[in-house]
Amino acid sequence: MEEIKLIAFDADDTLWMNEYHYRKAELEFCEKMQKYTSAKTANELLLKREKQNLPLLGYGSKPFIISLIETAIEISNGEISTKEILELIEIGKETIGQPIELMPDVENVLSMLSLKFPLILATKGDLKEQESKIERSGLEKYFTSVEILSEKSSESYRRIIQKHSIKPENFLMVGNSFKSDILPVLEIGGNAIYIPSEIIWAHEIAQEIEHPRLKRADRLSVDLFV
């Protein structure tokens, strides 16, 4: 930690629960689609549609709702009723505005670290949705800045590093997604702490590697930053 000058934290499923709400919505969607196809097929088609929509619509609840409706129309061959579509919209809306449930020890860790390091929040998704989560979490006071990104890539992390006038080896990223939070940071010469979440979105799964600048942990704790 002697060389670290800036620590960034992912938000969803690193600081608070998030993917659980989407998994619940997916299960409800698949249950409703069983009048047209199997739950397995419905889930596979939904994931495929979400992947297709990502480049254009990005991340968050609103693109998820659109994917639910488009997939349902595809599965039903256009026979789905207006009533059923409205029910799918309500399922999607339930992922928005849920009470923020912090991960264990999060506030203690941020409180301790903020006394020694500048901390930033680096998250991706819909601007309004993420701003609302951050405000409701009560954690914004620990961060010197908040970066809401459309995508997490090597280039987006380079921009963060340049913005804060540090070198890659002075940067530490903490997150739950190997694809978004870990690999891009390691690629540019930064450091990372990987804390896998119990539930991970299929599109965030990536081949995991070992690396001298990578630390793995089961949970967030102050001991990780000693």
pLDDT digits (tens, 9 = 90+) for 58-107: 888 999 999 999 999 999 999 999 999 999 999 999 988 788 999 999 99
* Strand pairing report for 191-194 and 6-9: unpaired
Last residue of one domain, picked from the residues 93, 113, 148: 93
pLDDT average, residue stretch 144-153: 93
pLDDT band at 125 (very low <50, low <70, confident <90, very high): confident
Q: By the 8 A CB rule, do 31 and 123 touch?
A: no
Please tell me whether residues 120 and 164 are part of one structural domain.
yes
Last residue of one domain, picked from the residues 93, 126, 143: 93
Please tell me whether residues 50 and 148 are part of one structural domain.
no
What's the pLDDT tens digit per position in 39-58?
999 999 999 999 999 889 98
Please tell me whether residues 108 and 210 are part of one structural domain.
yes
Find the domain containing 155 and state its range. 6-17+101-225
Residue 220 lies in a domain: yes
CA distance 117 to 121: 13
Residue 1 lies in a domain: no
Select from 28, 12, 16 the least CA-distant residue to 60.
Answer: 12
Cβ partners under 8 Å of residue 129, min gap 6: 60, 61, 62, 96
Q: What pLDDT does residue 203 have?
A: 74
Averaged confidence pLDDT in the chain? 94
- Of residues 6 and 125, the one with the higher pLDDT is 6
**Upper half-sphere CA count for residue 74 (Cβ side, 13 Å):** 14
For residue 102, the 8-state DSSP code is: B
Domains identified in the chain, total number = 2
Residue 176 lies in a domain: yes
Q: By the 8 A CB rule, do 146 and 124 touch?
A: no
Q: What is the dihedral of CA 140, 166, 183, 95, to 10 degrees?
A: 20
pLDDT band at 182 (very low <50, low <70, confident <90, very high): very high
CA distance 89 to 84: 9
